[in-house]
Amino acid sequence: MHSRPLRLITAALFALLPMLEALPAHAAASRIKDIVEIEGVRDNQLVGYGLVVGLNGTGDSLNNSPFTKQSLQAMLERLGVNTRGESMRTANVAAVMVTASLPAFATQGSRLDVNVAALGDSKSLQGGTLLVTPLLGADGEVYAIAQGSVTINGFKAQGDAASIVSGVPTTGRISAGGLIEREIGFVLGAQRTLRLALRNPDLTTSRRIALAINDFIGVPCATPEDPATVRLNLPQNFNGNIVDLLTDIEQLVVETDLPAKIVVDENSGIIVIGQDVRVSKVAVAQSNLTVSIGENPTVVQPNALSNGQTATQPRTDIQVNQTDSSLAVVDDTISLQQLVDGLNALGISPRDLIAILQAIKASGALQAEIQVL
């Protein structure tokens, strides 16, 4: 007895299918935490100069690296050993630059990873140990101390007549080799206002983020200032601090919008075309010129009973092949898939495609920005 309502529902669903297929495709939706950076939440770069000891004869040659010799003498003097004026021939020491990234809100006493790179003519840092090295920030203050055994990903082996190198043996890493001594003075929870920085600046996306936050909170607490910035103010009656507010809004989903852009890398021939790229009606023709050069030398023998010598006579074969393609018409306001299919139908290489896209842009028919890497 339910067959008639079921038939009506089925007929209604089939009637809606063409309408659903005709709906425009929406842009990619992302969480706010995935498309913005929070003001004050950032890493800080640290750098230091130190010595790696314990190398098996693969360290710096002191005659060619005077900074290594001076650093070694200064270190020994601090330990009570005077080597001034003495001849030093050790090859087990290497001067290195030590770098690290201080995470946001890192506390004093916590550990961080450090990278080590040779500064002189050291052959390998394998088996070496980094001595105590202060790591400085951009303000010249010491924020961490690094020390530990260096781990490298490459190696170098050699004999009397041959050698082999795998990877880069003059760079290494010390896992948890840095000890944080100074904290960055920033209290996020005490802030009453801060800025959200978009990773991909866009006016539409910036406004959508502000609207999504205001609709969720119920009061106008977010304001789009420019394509890259949304200012967030803590509401007066909000039950919590700015950290609670960020926790509430970072899961909100926003549809991002990006400008029409084509990115090309002429060195590698890579082309990336955005979704909203459009082309006005235009005709395109492309010509391929191929030049083949072959060398087929022939052997010429001397006459019998003569004093001549066997020789080779060069013979070069040159072939020129020029393939001309007819004009192909690219229709008006075509989609990205149609644009790619139409250009592929011409049978052109990626490097020729880059030149064609630049020519279409110069004619004013390409409604997109071309960015050359």
> Does the pTM of the predicted model rise above 0.85?
no
204 within some domain: yes
308 within some domain: no
8 within some domain: no
**The residue to which tokens 């809004």 are assigned:** 249
Within 8 A by CB and 6+ apart from 106, the residues are 112, 180, 183, 184
Model pLDDT for residues 72-116, shown as the tens digit of each residue: 888 888 888 887 777 777 889 999 999 999 998 889 999 999 999
Mean pLDDT of 179-206: 90
Q: Looking at the structure, tell me whether residues 331 and 248 fall in a common domain.
A: no
Mean pLDDT of 43-51: 94
Q: Looking at the structure, tell me whether residues 74 and 155 fall in a common domain.
A: yes
Mean pLDDT of 300-324: 65
End position of a domain, from candidates 149, 180, 211: 180
33 within some domain: no
Q: Looking at the structure, tell me whether residues 60 and 165 fall in a common domain.
A: yes
Q: Which residue has the higher pLDDT, 357 or 250?
A: 250
Distance, in Å, from the CA atom of 120 to the CA atom of 65, rounded to the nearest integer, reads: 6
Distance, in Å, from the CA atom of 42 to the CA atom of 363, rounded to the nearest integer, reads: 44
End position of a domain, from candidates 180, 196, 220: 180
Cβ atoms 229, 198 nearer than 8 A: yes
Mean pLDDT of 170-181: 93
Model pLDDT for residues 117-126, shown as the tens digit of each residue: 999 888 889 8
Mean pLDDT of 32-48: 91
Q: Looking at the structure, tell me whether residues 156 and 211 fall in a common domain.
A: no
Q: Looking at the structure, tell me whether residues 239 and 326 fall in a common domain.
A: no
Mean pLDDT of 211-221: 92
> How many domains are there within the chain?
3
28 within some domain: no
pLDDT bin (cut points 50, 70, 90) of residue 41 is: confident
Q: Looking at the structure, tell me whether residues 220 and 151 fall in a common domain.
A: no
pLDDT bin (cut points 50, 70, 90) of residue 221 is: very high
pLDDT given at position 210: 94
147 within some domain: yes
Q: Which residue has the higher pLDDT, 8 or 132?
A: 132
Mean pLDDT of 191-213: 92
Q: Looking at the structure, tell me whether residues 290 and 320 fall in a common domain.
A: yes
Q: Looking at the structure, tell me whether residues 93 and 79 fall in a common domain.
A: yes
pLDDT given at position 193: 92
pLDDT bin (cut points 50, 70, 90) of residue 159 is: low
Q: Looking at the structure, tell me whether residues 53 and 176 fall in a common domain.
A: yes
pLDDT, averaged across the chain: 79
Q: 106: which 2 tokens?
A: 């890192």
Q: Looking at the structure, tell me whether residues 265 and 149 fall in a common domain.
A: no
Domain interval for residue 88:
44-180
Q: Which residue has the higher pLDDT, 68 or 316?
A: 68
CA 214, distance to chain mean position in Å, is: 34
Q: Which residue has the higher pLDDT, 265 or 230?
A: 230
5 within some domain: no
Q: Looking at the structure, tell me whether residues 172 and 55 fall in a common domain.
A: yes
16 within some domain: no
Within 8 A by CB and 6+ apart from 132, the residues are 50, 145, 146, 147
Nearest to 232 by CA among 64, 266, 219: 219
Q: Looking at the structure, tell me whether residues 323 and 368 fall in a common domain.
A: yes
